[in-house]
Amino acid sequence: MFMAIIYDIEQRSSKINQQIKSSSQLHSRSIPSSISRLAPLEAILFDVDGTLCDSDPMHYYAFREMLLEIGYNNSVPITEEDFIEKVAGKNSEDIANTLFPDWDREKAMKFIDDKEARFRKLASKQLEAIDGLYKLRKWTEDRGLKRAAVTNAPRPNAELMISILGLSDFFQHMVIGSECERAKPFPDPYLKALNLLNASPEHSLVFDDSASGIKAGVAAGMPVVGVMTRNPEKSLKDAGASLLIKDYNDPKLWKALEDLEKAEATLKKADV
């Protein structure tokens, strides 16, 4: 039974990747990068779900099956488009309010908590890093940059994913949206991360995969690299992404980082 679930997730993940590839071909022009103006770069802030790992297919599967179990929407399965619109990138409170506007809060949050537990079981077997993540990790560490994970995911989810990915020692801080006064799309989580790192928004960069997260990073005063894991390219552009990449091997990312390094070298020469 479990292998059948995993096969279903992999099939859906493959379908999602094909949709992203087609979208990228139709809309290949990205917003011009503003990353080089960050020189000298101090910090990099990463979202978790969909940014460090392709976890959304597992979230979608867990939601779809649990909603079917309670007869949600007359037992019509939610579509991937519904998931992107109502769930992806949002915090637990907002998801509960969107899916169950007529339920009392305790009942709705119990459902969300149970869903997260089911997700963690799937993630413990299937979670993988976005392509090129460890290359960017090395680049970040080699330059001694400050780094934090900033997410709307519940803390148990975030800690599990970061542990599975082998990044527990990489991040100096982890900021959880629900533990801030306001979660993404408000800037509070990213501003809290900057404060913890003692970094300035003028010299910090965000990586996020959702419109909600991109809006939060932009509102916090930072350029955001939109990771096109599965959310529509147009929604990431409209949210204000400075650069759109397929994954961390994307040549556009490394060209932008090369330009940043050149800008930093120019500043050093000017200081001599």
| Annotated catalytic residue 8 | no
Q: Give which of 189, 166, 194, 169 is closest to 179, Cα–Cα.
A: 189
Angle of helix 92-99 versus helix 105-126 axis, rounded to 10: 120
Q: Which parts of the chain are beta strand (E)? A: 43-46, 146-151, 173-176, 204-208, 224-227, 243-245
Long-range CB contacts (within 8 A, 24+) of 113-121: 113/154, 114/66, 115/62, 115/63, 115/66, 116/92, 116/154, 116/156, 116/157, 118/62, 118/65, 118/66, 119/55, 119/58, 119/59, 119/62, 119/157, 120/156, 120/157, 120/160
Angle of helix 105-126 versus helix 155-164 axis, rounded to 10: 0
- Which residue stretches of 127-182 are H helix? 133-142, 155-164
| Annotated catalytic residue 49 | yes
Helix H, strand E, coil C: the string for 207-231 is EECCHHHHHHHHHCCCCEEEECCCC
Annotated active-site residue in 8, 49, 94, 114 = 49
Annotated catalytic residues are: 47, 49
